[in-house]
A = this chain, B = another copy of it.
Amino acid sequence: MPELPDKTTQFIDWYLAVVEAAELTDKRYPVKGLNVWTPYGMAARRNFDRVLVREIEATGSRAVEFPTLIPETEFAKEKEHIKGFDAQVYWVTKGGATDLDTKLVLRPTSETAMYPIFALWVRSHRDLPLNVYQIVNVFRYETKTTRPFLRDREIHFFEEHTCQANEAHATERVLSNRAAFAKMARAFALPYLAIRRPEWDKFPGAYYSIGLDVPMGEARTLQIGTVHHYRENFSRPYGIQFEDADGSQRFVHQTTFGISARLLGAVVAFHGDPRGAVFPTELAPYEVVVIPIPSTESGDAPDRLAGEVADRLTRHGRRVRLDRGEERPGAKYYHWELAGAPLRLEVGRREAEQRAVHAVDRLGRKETLPLDGLEHRVDERLAEFDRALAERARVTFADAFSVAVRLEDLAGSTKVRVVSWCGREECGHRIEQAIDGSLLGTPEDPLPFATPEIGPCIGCGTIEGARWAIAARPL
């Protein structure tokens, strides 16, 4: 059993080793940046999607699916947008032996596929709001180094697109999206910051963009979601307008909300530890792994009891894996810790005699559970595990940030930096240069950790307009 690389000092090596050894992906596909979703990885993804669907549908959004292929003519309508993606799109130029009259883009995101149709769907104020989402694959011809889940060329993608009657309603939708994201992140026990991106880093075509960022050790962060307010930037070129109650024609205000499998990768990366992945219960392919420990004295009693336990918990609605493989118990413990299973139930000779199971959760806490009322006890153990995981995450999170008051403190930082910023682009770039990274922008909410009273801008020294901002290095 090979050792994993050290998470703190060799983060990316550690991450790549974990996703591969846990069999979440197979990266041996012969094209770079295209990964295979293995059975275990797909099981995690199914749970991931279920949470996203549940939370977005609770806000009244409905599933749709638009085509993967977008004609060049539609793609080119919004100039800033196409400029933002031009270097990154795959082009389909041939069908069979025929050169296509109109080249097709593999969607990098679906604004330009959806909005010509939205223009047909939206006629009257009674058609608003239009809130629809899709979970599809999108494609980006990445020139940076690809990493499974974190930066792929074919991306498992959630995107909500909405049309609202006016700017205020669109702003409300942004808030609703943020609230939905908070629930998703809670299901994954993942703390994050919602940060309004600076002007020079917003989504191509957006009025403003809010990034959802997670610290990833050292001074790094990872963007795990985005919410954008488009105002009329797309509805004008695509002609999405409606007749208002007063009879006037107006353009809709639009919003989008995007999440990708990167969030799934972020959960593995954030919660993982020296022994491998740690899945919150809701995301775990198997919530409970039952392992029989055979011995000469006990005959097949442990195996039979393990089967009974697995059956009972499965009937109770839990995702259970009964591991009857030929490996030794120690090898199974190692594997299922690496694979991040929240709870393992060991059934050996003593357990068979006592009609009990030995429960060990992924944070190492142990307890013997009698078979009487086992279902309820397992529910409790899993809920406790999730609470403990969330608490551990909270501590890690708070420890990931620190305030810097001088530009020269940013170089070589081992923490994500919280700095005072006047809001001017010039100072923003000064900060970026000093940390050799990005100014992520200004947090939308009060920071969830103690900060001193705000001082003058770290870039220019003015106090006027100074607000907290977050600076980090890329992953």
- A interface residues, Cβ below 8 angstroms from B: 26, 28-31, 34-39, 42-43, 45-46, 62-69, 71, 73-74, 86-98, 102, 104, 106, 113, 116-117, 120-121, 132, 137, 139, 141, 143, 154
Contact = CB atoms under 8 A, between A and B. Distances in A.
A91 to B, nearest CB: 4
A132 B39 contact: yes
A63 B48 CA distance: 14
A151 to B, nearest CB: 15
Given A31-B69, A137-B68, A141-B95, A63 B90 contact: no
A67 B117 contact: no
A95 B88 CA distance: 7
Contacts of A91: 92-95
A104 B104 CA distance: 14
A42 B53 CA distance: 13
Q: Please tell me how many copies of the chain the complex holds.
A: 2
Given A92-B92, A92-B106, A116-B30, A35 B86 contact: no
B92 A36 contact: no
A36 B117 contact: yes
Contacts of A30: 71, 73-74, 116
Nearest to A132: B39
The 6 A-B pairs with the shortest beta carbon distances in the complex, nearest first, are A95-B141, A34-B67, A37-B65, A39-B62, A91-B94, A87-B96
B69 A154 contact: yes
26 contacts: A26-B117, A26-B120, A29-B67, A29-B116, A30-B73, A30-B74, A31-B69, A31-B104, A35-B67, A37-B65, A38-B64, A39-B63, A42-B62, A42-B65, A43-B62, A45-B65, A68-B68, A68-B154, A69-B154, A87-B96, A87-B97, A91-B95, A92-B92, A92-B106, A93-B94, A95-B141
Contacts of A104: 31, 90
A64 B42 contact: yes
A97 to B, nearest CB: 7
A394 to B, nearest CB: 33
A39 B35 CA distance: 30
Given A30-B71, A93-B93, A66 B116 contact: no
A28 B95 contact: no
B67 A154 contact: yes
A95 to B, nearest CB: 3
Contacts of A67: 29, 31, 34-36, 154
Contacts of A28: 117, 120
A37 to B, nearest CB: 4
Q: Which of A42, A45, A91, A104 has the most C-beta atoms of chain B within 10 angstroms of its own C-beta? A: A91
Contacts of A42: 62-65
Contacts of A31: 67, 69, 71, 102, 104
A45 B135 CA distance: 13
A29 B64 CA distance: 14
